[in-house]
């Protein structure tokens, strides 16, 4: 993310992105809510990646350089909010749960016209209810932080290339020239999570992409390193609120 485009106003609109399409790094002076009504969306910043299927939205604070990527055909809904209006009190990207009511509010509001146009009384009321629902939306731990320590980056690159790699931290450490104790400390200090937690997040991100591409659940479980399909289904359900078989492909 070397060249950052500056778009002062975060527009409120809908946008279609083809599978694999991307929106290059940019930033807004406004906050933005990014929601994929179809497909899987990833938002990447210098601090890592956030991923969201149709039951999740991503909050992007004002001034945050970020890029979007589509997995599967993406029905993208963007809601811009002034920097002075932060209903969530969040200063970093965050994944939020999207229930049926919030989903319909986002879809209706983004299809109702540009935020640059004055709001009608009806649209203002719709926006107020949308913000109320946002405040009540649980935050979801679906952030895959990016390592900065060189040794840690080497380990994470190995796993990102093959999320199904089942080697222990000690075995990975031997390949990069570090002890498991050193790497374990780096995971906590640099990424704020343990090695198993980070690897699970990586595997969940990869699983979402494969499911969107229509890969069978059993195959996804194998490719992402779970010991069985049932183990994968259990972790996926706890993370996303539904089974991988119910995930739209």
Q: How many domains does the chain have?
A: 2
For residues 170 and 61, what is the distance between their CA atoms, to the nearest angstrom? 38
Average pLDDT over residues 175-202: 94
Opening angle at CA 98, ends 94 and 102, nearest 5: 120
Please check the confidence at residue 247 and state whether its pLDDT lies above 70: no
Tokens describing residue 126: 């719709």
Same domain, 111 and 152: no
Tokens describing residue 56: 């999740």
Please check the confidence at residue 1 and state whether its pLDDT lies above 50: no
pLDDT digits (tens, 9 = 90+) for 107-146: 999 986 554 455 688 888 898 999 899 888 888 777 899 9
Same domain, 119 and 205: no
Average of per-residue pLDDT values in the chain? 88
Q: Which CATH number goes with the domain that contains 176?
A: 1.10.10.60
Please give the pLDDT value at position 130: 92
Q: Which residues pair with 114 in a beta bridge?
A: none
Q: Give pTM, 2 decimals.
A: 0.79
Q: How confident is the model at residue 2 (pLDDT cuts 50, 70, 90)?
A: low
Burial class (CB in 10 A: 0-12, 13-18, 19+), 100: exposed
Range of the domain at 87: 5-140
């Amino acid at each position: 993310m070397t060249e950052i485009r500056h778009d002062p106003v975060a527009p409120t609109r809908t946008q279609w992105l083809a599978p694999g399409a991307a929106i290059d790094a940019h930033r807004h002076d406004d906050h933005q809510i990014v929601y994929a009504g179809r497909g899987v969306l990833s938002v990447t910043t210098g601090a890592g990646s956030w991923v969201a299927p149709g039951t999740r939205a991503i909050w992007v604070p004002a001034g945050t350089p970020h890029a979007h990527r589509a997995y599967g055909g993406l029905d993208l809904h963007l809601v811009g909010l002034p920097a002075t209006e932060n209903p969530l009190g969040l200063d970093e990207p965050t994944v939020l749960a999207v229930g049926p009511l919030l989903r319909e509010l986002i879809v209706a509001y983004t299809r109702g016209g540009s935020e640059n146009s004055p709001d009608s009384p009806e649209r203002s009321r719709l926006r107020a209810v949308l913000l109320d629902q946002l405040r009540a939306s649980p935050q979801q731990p679906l952030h895959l932080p990016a390592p900065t320590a060189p040794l840690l980056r080497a380990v994470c690159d190995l796993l990102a290339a093959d999320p199904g790699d089942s080697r222990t931290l000690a075995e990975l450490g031997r390949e990069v020239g570090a002890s498991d104790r050193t790497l374990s400390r780096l995971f906590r200090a640099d990424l704020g999570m343990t090695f198993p937690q980070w690897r699970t997040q990586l595997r969940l991100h990869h699983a979402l992409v494969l499911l969107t591409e229509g890969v069978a659940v059993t195959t996804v479980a194998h490719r992402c390193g779970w010991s069985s399909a049932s183990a994968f289904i259990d972790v996926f359900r706890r993370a996303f609120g539904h089974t991988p078989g119910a995930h739209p492909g």
